[in-house]
C-alpha cells in the first residue's frame, strides 16, 4: 500500500501573478511546506533535526512539471511520498492536486547533511526507521 502524506494549501492573492494565476515559483513554496509538515508528522521538526540530530536536509535537485494552473482561493492538496531512501539521500514524489486533478508533479532529491559542516551524513536512525515504517 502506498502511503502518501497530504497537506492542504489555500491559494491567497500573494501567491498569484498579474494574470491571477499562481506564480510558478509559488508552487515550490507549497512543496516545501508539505515536506516540512510531513517531517513534523514523523516527529522531526527542523528545530529538532538541528538541535538533537545536528542535521538538516538540503535539496540536491528538483524537477517539476506544470499541467494546469491554480487560481485565487483554490484549495489544493500537496502530497509527499517516499520513492527511495539511501544512506544520506531521500527521493520524494510530490503532487499538487485540486479535486483529484493533478496541477503539478515534482521529483525531489534531498540530502541529509551535518548542520554545521553541510557535508553529507547518514540519515539519523530514528528518522530513517519512521520513514521506512511509513513507507512500507
CA distance 133 to 136: 5
pLDDT of residue 1: 40
pLDDT tens figures, 82-114: 999 999 999 999 999 999 799 999 999 999 999
* Rounded distance between C-alpha atoms, residue 34 and residue 42, angstroms: 12
Active site residue 74: no
Phi–psi pair at 54, nearest 5 degrees: 55, 40
Tens digit of pLDDT for each residue in 43-63? 999 999 999 999 999 999 999
CATH of the domain at 67: 3.10.129.10
Catalytic-role residue among 17, 47, 74, 84: 17
Q: Which domain holds residue 21?
A: 5-135
The tally of domains found in the chain comes to 1
Amino acid at each position: 500500500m502506498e502511503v502518501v502524506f497530504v497537506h492542504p494549501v489555500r491559494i491567497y492573492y500573494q501567491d498569484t501573478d498579474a494574470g491571477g494565476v499562481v506564480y510558478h515559483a509559488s508552487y515550490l513554496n507549497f512543496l516545501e511546506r508539505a515536506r516540512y509538515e510531513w517531517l513534523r508528522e514523523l516527529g522531526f521538526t527542523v528545530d529538532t533535526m538541528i538541535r538533537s540530530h545536528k542535521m538538516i536536509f538540503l535539496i540536491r535537485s528538483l524537477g517539476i512539471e506544470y499541467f494546469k494552473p491554480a487560481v485565487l482561493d483554490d484549495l489544493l492538496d500537496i502530497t509527499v511520498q517516499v520513492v527511495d531512501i539511501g544512506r544520506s539521500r531521500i527521493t520524494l514524489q510530490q503532487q499538487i492536486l485540486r479535486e483529484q486533478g493533478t496541477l503539478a508533479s515534482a521529483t525531489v532529491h534531498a540530502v541529509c547533511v551535518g548542520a554545521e559542516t553541510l557535508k553529507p551524513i547518514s540519515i539519523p536512525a530514528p528518522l530513517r526507521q519512521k520513514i521506512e515504517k511509513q513507507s512500507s
